Every structure is written in structure tokens, then in C-alpha cells.
């Protein structure tokens, strides 16, 4: 999360007004809450059993998108942040992000991408395992499709569900796919927050200066299982014995700032307690919500999108019988000569 926030801060300070983000489901609620600033009660109410009061896809909360304009304290400017909705299919949103950004460049008169930027987050296994990633990278320098530089952030937890890297790819690094377009690749230890922030500044500056793609490889680990039913001690016992002995990055960095005299333990405890209190208050507010609105989760809000629509009406998508017969006849006929 600090990495994405830093990319936004640096880009906004460099003149970017609109940022489009694509990402998988893992960590999405965190990004929506702490980067996009979607109200916490709005997020927490999605865990209720309420039915939406308006038309929507009925998709799960971990796939929802949003578009929010908020004030950036670093640049002292407003910035629009859109996180596109994502299906269960990992990386499927990548070209959607590129298309959305390209449309904003075209219709906004920003064909040099000075005011609009794309950020796409990946998992290490999906990055080199899904063909759509390669297809998206290929758009990098095509005149008709380029967005003049996308920042790719890889959350490299060194495992794909239960699959080890040695069983999921044939290259040393999951980011080697970026070599196809010759973009710079920065490998950084996610347990070193200051190194992560430094790399994010370099990556954002690279995109601003050269208008080319760049990859940030956040080398990290997954503390829990892939989901609530996954017990990684069965499939990766040695790895997870080591992880259990590793302190979370907050504890590691807390020790560092205390040692450097920047803050004390009580300050950190107070900040954690303050945020927990905010979460508790938001949870209580969410319990009072009586209906859900899908219009709160539009990644591309259009005027009157939900108005004058019959949610039970299925539009006609077929063609006339004579047209079908004509097509069948042409397809099944042997060409002359």
C-alpha cells in the first residue's frame, strides 16, 4: 500500500491528474480503503446480507471497482483515482486499464500522457503464467495503443496458491517477461519500506521522463494461506516455519525508527490504536446501513447510467431468421472456382 501511495504522490506532484489502477482481488479492499479513501462503512457494509437497491452485477466485494477524486496532501492538488473492476480471472483487467487510459488520453487531449497514468499490480505466479500479460506488454510501444508508460507493481510473495516458483516458471525471475520490451526492472525487499519508497520514486520519474513501462518487483511473502481453507504448513512447511519466525514489516520498521530516534514505541502504539478505533467506529456505522448501492462502486461513472432502466428487461440480441439462413448458406457453400 505505501508503494502505491508513493507512486500516486510522486505522479501527482509531477502534474498527473488521473490515475487508473488495475489489480487482482488480493489486497483490493486495503487499496480501496487506504489509497482511494472509499468510506469504510461503505466497504464494510458489503459484508452484510443486504441486497443491492439498484442494478448491478452481483459480483463479490473483492472484485469491485471505484472512481474517486480526492485531495493529495503531497502535491496539494486533486487527483482522480480509478480502480477498475476485476473478475476472478487474474490479469484479465490489464488490457482494460490500458484501454481506459488510452481513451482518457485521446478524449482529454493528453496524447503525451502528461496528466494520465496507468498502474497495474500483479502476482508473481500470474505475471508469468497468464498470456494476457504478454499481450498487454506488447501494447507498450504500438502507436495506436500505447499509454506512454505503465508502472507494473509485482507483489511477489514467491508462491502461487501452493505452487513453488521452480514449478511455475522457466526463468529465474517472474519479471523476466518484461525483458521482451526492454523495460527496467527493480527488485526490492518489501521489508525495507524506505528502499521501496525510493524505488517507487525512481520508477515514477522514469515513466514521466521516458514515457515507457517500468516494473517494480516487491519481493515479499504471504503470511497466511491462500484462503481461509488453505494451510500452507502442509504444502510448504519449511518456508512457513521461516515465515512464522519473521516479524511483520510494521514491527521491523518500528524498531528502526525508534532506534533512530524518529519516534518512540508509545507513538506507534497510539497510532495503531487510533486506526483500530476508526475501524470499530466504521463497523458500527456499517451495521446501520439498510441498503446497498452499486452506484458507489463504478470505476467509470457515466451520467444517468442507472436511470430509466428496467432491471428485469433482457434486451434483444438476436438477428432475424432469414439473416441466419443467409449466413449459414454462404458459410456452407463451396466458393466458385
Helix (H) / strand (E) containing 68: strand 66-72
Each residue's pLDDT tens digit, 127-147? 999 999 999 999 999 999 999
User: What length is written for the chain?
Assistant: 337
* Residue 56: per-residue pLDDT: 56
Q: Which range among 16-20, 25-29, 61-65, 274-278 shows the weakest confidence by mean pLDDT?
A: 61-65
* Residue 305: per-residue pLDDT: 64
Helix (H) / strand (E) containing 204: helix 193-210
Determine, yes or no, domain membership for 248.
no
Higher pLDDT, 87 or 135: 135
Q: Of 142, 61, 56, 33, which is closest to residue 95 (Cα–Cα)?
A: 142
Determine, yes or no, domain membership for 25.
yes
Determine, yes or no, domain membership for 278.
no
Determine, yes or no, domain membership for 246.
no
Total domains in the chain come to: 1
Each residue's pLDDT tens digit, 223-262? 998 887 889 999 999 999 999 999 999 999 999 999 999 9
Give the three-class secondary structure for 236.
coil
Determine, yes or no, domain membership for 123.
yes
Each residue's pLDDT tens digit, 302-321? 776 666 666 667 778 899 99
Higher pLDDT, 194 or 313: 194
Determine, yes or no, domain membership for 133.
yes
Each residue's pLDDT tens digit, 28-84? 999 999 999 999 999 999 888 877 765 555 667 888 899 999 999 999 999 999 999
Judge contact between 214 and 244, C-beta under 8 A.
Answer: no
Beta bridge partners of residue 267, listed in sequence order: none
Determine, yes or no, domain membership for 26.
yes
| φ, ψ at 69 (rounded to 5°) | -105, 125
Helix (H) / strand (E) containing 330: helix 321-332
Determine, yes or no, domain membership for 187.
yes
Q: What pTM value is reported for the model?
A: 0.87
Residue-number span of the structural domain to which 8 is assigned: 2-235+290-332
CATH code of 120's domain: 3.40.50.970
Judge contact between 110 and 63, C-beta under 8 A.
Answer: no
Amino acid at each position: 500500500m505505501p508503494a502505491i501511495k508513493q507512486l500516486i504522490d510522486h505522479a501527482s506532484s509531477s502534474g498527473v491528474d488521473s490515475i487508473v489502477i488495475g489489480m487482482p482481488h488480493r489486497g483490493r479492499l486495503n487499496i480501496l480503503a487506504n489509497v482511494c479513501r472509499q468510506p469504510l462503512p461503505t466497504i464494510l457494509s458489503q459484508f452484510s446480507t443486504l441486497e443491492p437497491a439498484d442494478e448491478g452485477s452481483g459480483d463479490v466485494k473483492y472484485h469491485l471497482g471505484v472512481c474517486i477524486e480526492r485531495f493529495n496532501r503531497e502535491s496539494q492538488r486533486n487527483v482522480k483515482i480509478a480502480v477498475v473492476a476485476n473478475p476472478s480471472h487474474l490479469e484479465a483487467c490489464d488490457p482494460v486499464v490500458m484501454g481506459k487510459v488510452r481513451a482518457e488520453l485521446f478524449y482529454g487531449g493528453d496524447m503525451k500522457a502528461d496528466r494520465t497514468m496507468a498502474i497495474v499490480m500483479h502476482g508473481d505466479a500470474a505475471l508469468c503464467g497468464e498470456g494476457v500479460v504478454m499481450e498487454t506488454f506488447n501494447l507498450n510501444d504500438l502507436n495506436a495503443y500505447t499509454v506512454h508508460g505503465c508502472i507494473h507493481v509485482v507483489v511477489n510473495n514467491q508462491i502461487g496458491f501452493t505452487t513453488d516458483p521452480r514449478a511455475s516458471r522457466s526463468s529465474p525471475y517472474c519479471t523476466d517477461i518484461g525483458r521482451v520490451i526492454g523495460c527496467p526492472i527493480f527488485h526490492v525487499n518489501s521489508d525495507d519500506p524506505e528502499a521501496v519508497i525510493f524505488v517507487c520514486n525512481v520508477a515514477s520519474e522514469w515513466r514521466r521522463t521516458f514515457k515507457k513501462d517500468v516494473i517494480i518487483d516487491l519481493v515479499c511473502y504471504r503470511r497466511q494461506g491462500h484462503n481461509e481453507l488453505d494451510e500452507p504448513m502442509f504444502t510448504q512447511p519449511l518456508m512457513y516455519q521461516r515465515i512464522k519466525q519473521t516479524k511483520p514489516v510494521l514491527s521491523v520498521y518500528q524498531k528502526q525508527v525508534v532506534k533512530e530516534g524518529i519516534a518512540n514505541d508509545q507513538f506507534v502504539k497510539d497510532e495503531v490504536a487510533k486506526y483500530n478505533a476508526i475501524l470499530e467506529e466504521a463497523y458500527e456505522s456499517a451495521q446501520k446501513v439498510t441498503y446497498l448501492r452499486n452506484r458507489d462502486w463504478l470505476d467509470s461513472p457515466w451520467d444517468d447510467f442507472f436511470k430509466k432502466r428496467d432491471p428485469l428487461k433482457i434486451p434483444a440480441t438476436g438477428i432475424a431468421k432469414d439473416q441466419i439462413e443467409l449466413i449459414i448458406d454462404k458459410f456452407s457453400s463451396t466458393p466458385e472456382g
